[in-house]
């Protein structure tokens, strides 16, 4: 069975510092991988996705994630965070065409 592990429930980081949010998955088949962001009191928004091709994918607001098949990881990174990045970030893997399997989420806390 597929599963997604986000080891860190919270990641505090100073503003303008780099950050990495970790995501590991288990799957014996090809997967599609996603990062979603949930701002306070809002729904989830798709941040970026890996479907195929280049293993490094980027979002429009400076985040990037790298698919590493040998380590079964899809960590999310940003070189310099802003206070507006405060949110909860969820990693997900597509189990089938539609059924997403979710990690427990990581709260990104930006310290001024």
Site residues for another protein per CB under 8 A: 4, 6, 9, 32, 34, 36, 41-46, 49, 90, 92, 94, 97-105
CB of 38 to another protein, least distance (A): 9
> Judged by CB, which is closer to another protein: 81, or 93?
93
Distance CA(50)–CA(59), nearest Å, equals 11
Distance CA(51)–CA(11), nearest Å, equals 27
Q: Residue 25: beta bridge partners?
A: 4
Which one, of 33, 15, 112, lies nearest residue 72 by Cα?
33
> Judged by CB, which is closer to another protein: 36, or 63?
36
CB of 110 to another protein, least distance (A): 21
CB of 51 to another protein, least distance (A): 9
> Judged by CB, which is closer to another protein: 8, or 15?
8
Structure tokens at 98: 């539609």
Distance CA(73)–CA(108), nearest Å, equals 19
């Amino acid at each position: 069975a597929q599963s997604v592990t986000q080891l860190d429930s919270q990641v505090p980081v100073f503003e303008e510092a780099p950050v990495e949010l970790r995501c590991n998955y288990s799957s014996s088949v090809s997967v599609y991988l996603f990062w979603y962001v949930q701002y306070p009191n809002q729904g989830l928004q798709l941040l970026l996705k890996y479907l195929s091709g280049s293993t490094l994918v980027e979002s429009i607001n400076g985040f990037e994630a790298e698919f590493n098949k040998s380590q079964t990881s899809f960590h999310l990174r940003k070189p310099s965070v802003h206070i507006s990045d405060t949110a909860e970030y969820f990693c997900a893997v597509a189990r089938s065409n539609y059924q997403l399997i979710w990690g427990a989420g990581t709260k990104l806390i930006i310290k001024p």
